[in-house]
Amino acid sequence: MKKLFRMTLPALSLILAACGSTSAPVAATPPPAATEVDSAPSGFLFSDGVIASADAQPARESQMSFTVSAPVQEVLVKEGDWVKAGQPLITLYTPDLEGEVTRAELAAKAGELEYSYWVPRRWDRPPERRQQAEAEWNQIKMSLEVARASFAQSTIYAPFDATVVEVNVQFGEMAQAGEVVITLADLAHMKIVTTDLSERDVPSVQIGQAANVYLEALDLTVTGKVVKISPISETVGGDVVYPVTIELDEQPEGLLWGMSAEVEIVE
Amino acid sequence: MKKAFLIFTVVLSLALSACATTAAPEAVPTVSLDTAESASASAAAQSGASAVVVPVEKVELSFPLSGVAKTVEVETGDTVKAGDVLATLDTAILEAKVREAESAVVTEQTQVAYIIRTQVDNERLEAAKADVDRAQAAVDIAKAQLAQATLAAPIGGTIASVDISPAEFANPGQIVIVLGDLTHFQIETTDFSEKDIPKIEIGQKASVFIEALNEEFSGKVIDVARISETVGGDVVFKVTVGLDDQPEGLRWGMSADVKIAAE
C-alpha cells in the first residue's frame, strides 16, 4: 500500500507539470509526503519563487540579407565558422554593378584630361572653363563613389564577432533582395528568456533578483540573475505573458540556442 | 489492489480538476449588459468588458525606405528622449548621392559665373540660373532621403521592443521599434459590445480591475471609438478609460476588467 502511494506521487506530479508551469505555483499544494519526491530532477515544482519555462537565446543575432537580387558568386564561410566583425561572408555575381564602376572610373579619367586641358592660362581659355572642368571632374568622381557604394552591396560582411549559425544559399543560387541568406549569432554569450511567465507573476519579479535555471538537456542547474523584464506583454495561447531575461553567472559548456530551461526566480 | 487503484483514480481526477480551474479564466469573447437579472439592483445597471493596459503615448516605428540596418542604438527597456537616434540604415550610397548632387551645383554655378562675365544674353543667364536651382533641389532630395535612413524617437519613453539587428534588412513600413511612455497608462477595452455602446458617454465613471495586481481602480471614460472592430464575429467598440491615479506596478499589456456605470 505504502509502496503504491509512492508510485502515485510521481504520477501526480507529472500530471500537475502537464498543467503548464504558469499554474504550477498555485496548483502546488502537495500532500505532506511530497518532499520525498524531491530527488526527481524535474525542476522546481514546489518552490516559493516564480517559476516559468524558458529557452536559451544568443545575446546578439543577425539574420542578414542583400539589398540587391543576383546569383550567389561565392559563399566564403560555412555553418559553425567563427567570424570577425567586418569579415566578408557571401558575394553576389553583379557584372552590371561592376561594369558601372569601370565606366565611372573611365569617365573620371576623361574628366581629369579635360580639366588638364583648361589648366594652362591662355587668352582663348577663360578661367570659368577651367573651374567648370574642375567641377565636372569632381562630379564624375562623386558618381564613381556612388557606383562603388552600389557595387559594395554585392558583398555582405559580419556586423560583429559571431558564429555562423545558418547559411541558406549556395553558389549559383539566386539571392533575392531582403531574403535571409545567412544567420549569425554570438553563441558565446547566451541568455535565458522565459516563454510563459504570467502577468499575475510579473509584479513579484524585479531586476537583479537571483534565479536558478534548470537546463533539461544538460540536466544541470545553474545560477543567474534577472536583467530584463519586457515592458510589453506577449500573448501565448490566450495568456498574457512577459518575457523575462536572465543572465547566467557562468555559461555552462554545451548550452545551445533554443535549449529548454526551467527558471525559478527567488529572492 | 483494487482499493489502491481506486485511490489512484481519485488522486488523478483531483489533479486533473486542478488543471481545469486554472484554465478557466480565459478571455470571454464578448460581455454584454446583463439587464435580465437586474431585478434587485435595478438602478445600478453596469456595462462591462475585458480590457488591456496601454500607454497613453505609444509609437510603432519603421523606416520609410528599404535598406540594411547599420546601427541599432537601443535595446528593450532603454529610456530615450524625443529626438534620440534609435537605429540607422547603411547610408553609403545615399551619402555618395548627396555629394554627387552637391558637386553638380558647383558645376552649374561656374556656368552662371561665366555667362555673367561674358554677358552673352539674358535668356542664357536665366537658363543657367534655373539649372543651379534644379541642381540645388536635387541636393535637397538626396539629403531628405539620407535623413530617412535615421530613425529618431518622436516621443520620450521606454523601448518596448526592438525587432532589428545590425546588418538585417528592413522593409519600408515594417515595424522595427516600439516605444511608449510608461509613466502614463490608460485602459482600452477589447470586447465592448455594440449593444452597450449607446449608453456610454465620455466622462462617465468607470471601475477598472487589474487582474495581475488584484486591485480595483477608479477612472472615467475618455474616448469611445467612432468605428467598430470585429472580434470573433461580434461587433465591438474600443472604449478608452483614463485612470484617476497611476497605480504602481502597471505594465503594458496587462489584462483588466472594466465596468462602466450607466447613468
Interval B67-93: pLDDT, tens: 999 999 999 999 999 999 999 999 999
Q: pTM surpassing 0.90?
A: no
**Alpha helix stretches (DSSP H) within B119-188:** 122-148
- B223 and B129, same structural domain? no
Residues B228 and B218 grouped into a single domain: yes
Kindly state whether residues B154 and B142 are assigned to the same domain.
no
B17 occurs within a structural domain: no
Q: What was the pLDDT predicted at A27? A: 41
**Segment B6-12 long-range contacts (CB within 8 Å, at least 24 positions apart):** B7/A4, B7/A5, B7/A8, B8/A4, B8/A8, B8/A11, B11/A8, B11/A11, B11/A12, B12/A11, B12/A12, B12/A15
Does residue B15 lie within any of the structural domains?
Answer: no
Query: A151: nearest CA in chain B?
Result: B93
Do B97 and B49 reside in the same domain of the chain?
A: no
Q: Residue A18 pLDDT > 90, yes or no? A: no
pLDDT at position A35 over 70: no
Nearest 10 degrees: Cα torsion A202, A205, A208, A213? -90
> Which chain A residues touch B142 with a CB distance below 8 Å?
none
The answer to whether the CB of A147 falls within 8 A of the CB of A101 is yes
The CA distance from A247 to the nearest CA of chain B, in Å, is: 15
Q: Read off the pLDDT of residues B198-256 as tens digits, 9 standing for 90 and up.
A: 888 899 999 999 989 999 999 999 999 999 999 888 899 999 999 998 888 899 999 99
B145 touches chain A (CB under 8 A): no
Is there a single domain that holds both residue B160 and residue B114? no
Q: What is the number of alpha carbons within 13 Å of residue B133 lying toward its C-beta?
A: 6
The residues in B 195-214 lying below 8 A from A, measured between CB atoms, are 211-213
pLDDT score recorded for residue A131: 86
Domain A20-59+189-265 has CATH 2.40.30.170: yes
pLDDT: which is higher, A43 or A182: A182
Q: pLDDT band at residue B122, thresholds of 50, 70 and 90? A: confident
Query: What are A92-140's pLDDT values in tens digits?
Result: 999 999 999 999 999 999 999 999 988 888 777 778 788 888 889 999 9
Closest residue of chain A to B28, computed from CA coordinates: A238
Q: Which residue of A has its CA nearest to B3?
A: A1
The nearest alpha carbon in chain B to A182 belongs to B168
Domain of B158: which CATH number?
2.40.50.100
Our CA-based measurement puts residue A208 at a distance from the nearest CA of chain B, in whole angstroms, of 14
Sheet with B150-152, strands from edge to edge, namely B150-152, B85-89, B67-72, B169-170
Instruction: For residue B187, give how far its alpha carbon lies from the nearest alpha carbon of chain A (Å).
Output: 14
What is the tally of structural domains in chain B?
3
> What's the CATH code of the domain at B103?
1.10.287
Q: Find the CB nearest A128 among B117, B158, B165.
A: B117
In this prediction the ipTM stands at 0.71
Both B82 and B157 in a single domain? yes
Chain A neighbors of B95, CB-CB under 8 A? 149
Q: Do A143 and B100 touch (CB under 8 A)?
A: yes
Both B126 and B51 in a single domain? Answer: no
- Angle separating helix axes B122-148 and B92-118, nearest 10 degrees: 170
How high is the pLDDT of residue A45?
61
Residues B257 and B189 in one domain: yes
* Predicted local confidence at residue B119, as pLDDT: 76
Would you state the pLDDT for residue A48? 74
What is the rounded CA–CA span in Å between residue A18 and residue A27? Answer: 11
Q: Does B104 touch chain A (CB under 8 A)?
A: yes
Do residues B131 and B223 both lie within one domain?
no
Which residues of B fall within a CB distance of 8 Å from A178?
66, 169, 171
Q: What residue of B is the nearest CA neighbor of A25? A: B22
Residue A18's closest chain B neighbor by CA?
B19
Q: Residue B46: which CATH number? A: 2.40.30.170
| Phi, psi (degrees; rounded to nearest 5) at A37 | -80, 0
Q: How far apart are CA B254 and CA A234, in angstroms?
A: 10
Q: Which one of B2, B8, B68, B164 would you mutate to disrupt binding with A, by most A Cβ within 10 Å of its Cβ?
A: B68
**B84 and B173 housed in the same domain:** yes
Test the B interface: residue of A123, A125, A139, A230 with most B CBs within 10 Å:
A139
Q: Which chain A residues contact residue B92 at CB under 8 A?
A: 149, 152
Domain assignment of residue B3, yes or no: no
Here the cell at position A202 is 510579473
Residue B21 confidence (pLDDT):
42
Do B68 and B173 fall into the same domain? yes
Name, in order, each residue with C-beta under 8 angstroms of B116's C-beta and a sequence gap of 6 or more: B125
Rounded average pLDDT over B26-40: 44
For residue B228, the distance in angstroms to the closest alpha carbon of chain A comes to 22
Instruction: Note down the domain range covering B103.
Output: 91-148
Mean pLDDT, residues B87-115 taken together = 91
Residues B139, B78 share a domain = no
B169 vs A63: CA distance, rounded Å: 8
pLDDT at B19 over 60: no
Per-residue pLDDT, B263? 61
How high is the mean pLDDT of chain B? 83
Residue A10 grid cell: 510521481
What percent of chain B stands above pLDDT 90?
58
B244 shares contact with chain A (CB less than 8 Å): no
Name the pLDDT band for A6 (thresholds 50, 70, 90): low
Q: Do the domain assignments include residue B227? A: yes
What residues of chain A lie within 8 A of the CB of B99, using their CB?
Answer: 142, 145
Among B101, B128, B148, the domain boundary falls at B148
- Please list every residue in chain B whose beta carbon sits closer than 8 Å to the beta carbon of residue A149: 92-93, 95-96
Give contacts of A227 with chain B, Cβ < 8 Å.
Answer: none
A191 contacts on B by Cβ (under 8 Å): none
Pick the CATH number of A62-185 from 2.60.320.10, 3.30.70.3040, 2.40.50.100, 3.40.190.290: 2.40.50.100
Per-domain residue ranges of chain A:
20-59+189-265, 62-185
Q: Give backbone dihedrals phi and psi of A243, rounded to 5 degrees, phi first.
A: -65, 125
Rounded to whole angstroms, the Cα distance separating B113 from A131 reads: 10
